Amino acid sequence: MRIYGWSDGRGGVFHYRIREPLRGLRLLGHETATGQALTVKQARTYDVILVRALHDPWSSRAWRLLKESNDVLLVYDLDDDIWAWHPNTKAFQYWNRERRLQAELNIQLADLVTTPSYHLAALLEHLNPNVHVLPNTVPKWLTKIGPNSQPPGVFVIGWEGAAQHLEDLQLIYTPVFRFMLRHPDVHFWLWGPDEFIELPAHLDSRIRCFGWQPDVPSYYRSLCMNIALAPLQEQPFNETKSAIRVQEHSALGIPIIANPSLAYDGFLIHGENGLHANDEFEWELRFEQLYEDSRFRQRLGARGRELAQSWTTEANAQVRARLYQEALNVKP
């Protein structure tokens, strides 16, 4: 097959939903390419056109023309619930009614719709009956390296996430800071947007904020922590998120603490690659468990790496290839 990933080529979502999946297809011998521009004439030289959240007017006109010509398989991928952004986020302001409507029309035109979330898939089925779940994956090499080195005598708890997850982070500020006050060797390191608020000044020397790296592989290599935190508020948007943070940290052998969430179902297994925490008391209890018991941490990390073997791009590429080929076979 010849597959084209039509995207601006920026950010983590491009990596997770287009670049990394196409790398997997290349490993199987398929021909792939990506780019920002795509003419109808150029598109007809491919078997499959893959887009992610396509909604701008110009690209949508081309999408409609491609559907009318019926010469290529149109695959629409969506990994965010664009109807449930939190009102305080920039994404909520961006995804106005017109943009959502255009995305809905493009989803309806697609021959195949993919998403990493079973819960988002249930929503998308109202717009297109041919929806399939293709979870995010991690490169196999990630299971073979360790977290970046950290200063001796320091215990690091880490968090990373996009701007729309800052309110999730604030759920655990209190237990994190209480834990730090009890243990002067504990540091709190954060990766993501430079918008962190309410960080206590008296702990400033033990809190580090890292910006996003130039690409996802560089981000992987920058991660450095003893335990990873993955809190999610109970809200519709978070229920449709993927478990990529759990997958990445498990691949690196880092145990994860998170509240039970539909987003993590099947990926975060309590007592195997991480621990669940239901309230502030349990968050602090989990911190103490993993802080005091290094063997338990190592056991969780090792099991996480075992689980991550089945979440790699290499292990899942054939699933995507088979899905595309079957869709091509039944296309009129």
Cα-based distances in Å from 198 to 193, 201, 258:
14, 9, 21
Instruction: Please state the rounded mean pLDDT for residues 43-71.
Output: 93
Instruction: Please state the rounded mean pLDDT for residues 279-287.
Output: 96
Q: Is the pLDDT of residue 177 over 70?
A: yes
| Least reliable range by pLDDT among 38-42, 92-96, 119-123, 220-224 | 38-42
205-231 pLDDT, tens digit each? 999 988 888 899 999 999 999 999 999
Q: How far apart are CA 188 and CA 63, in angstroms?
A: 45
Same domain (yes/no): 277, 323: no
Q: What's the pTM value of the predicted model, to 2 decimals? A: 0.93
pLDDT band at 149, cuts 50/70/90?
confident
Same domain (yes/no): 163, 295: yes
> What's the number of domains the chain is made of?
2
pLDDT band at 88, cuts 50/70/90?
confident
Same domain (yes/no): 94, 110: yes
Q: Which two tokens stand for residue 6?
A: 């039509």
Instruction: Please state the rounded mean pLDDT for residues 25-35.
Output: 96
The amino acid sitting at 313 is T
Q: Determine the structural domain holding residue 25 and report its residue range.
A: 2-137+313-330
pLDDT band at 39, cuts 50/70/90?
confident
Same domain (yes/no): 68, 179: no
Q: How far apart are CA 40 and CA 42, in angstroms?
A: 5
Instruction: Please state the rounded mean pLDDT for residues 9-14.
Output: 84
Q: Return mean pLDDT, the chain.
A: 93
**Contacts of range 307-310, beta carbons closer than 8 Å, 24 or more positions apart:** 307/250, 307/267, 307/269, 307/272, 307/273, 308/138, 308/142, 308/143, 308/247, 308/250, 308/251, 309/140, 309/143
How would DSSP label each residue in 214-238? SSHHHHHHH---SEEE----SSHHH
**Which domain CATH number covers 261?**
3.40.50.2000
Q: What's CA 133's distance to the chain center, in Å?
A: 14
Same domain (yes/no): 147, 270: yes
Q: Is the pLDDT of residue 133 over 70?
A: yes
Q: How far apart are CA 200 and CA 187, in angstroms?
A: 13
Q: How far apart are CA 15 and CA 34, in angstroms?
A: 11
> Residue 160 pairs with which residues in a beta bridge?
191
Residue 80 pLDDT:
93
Per DSSP, the three-state class of 73 is: strand
Instruction: Please state the rounded mean pLDDT for residues 84-108.
Output: 92
Instruction: Please state the rounded mean pLDDT for residues 129-154.
Output: 93
pLDDT band at 196, cuts 50/70/90?
low
Same domain (yes/no): 90, 196: no
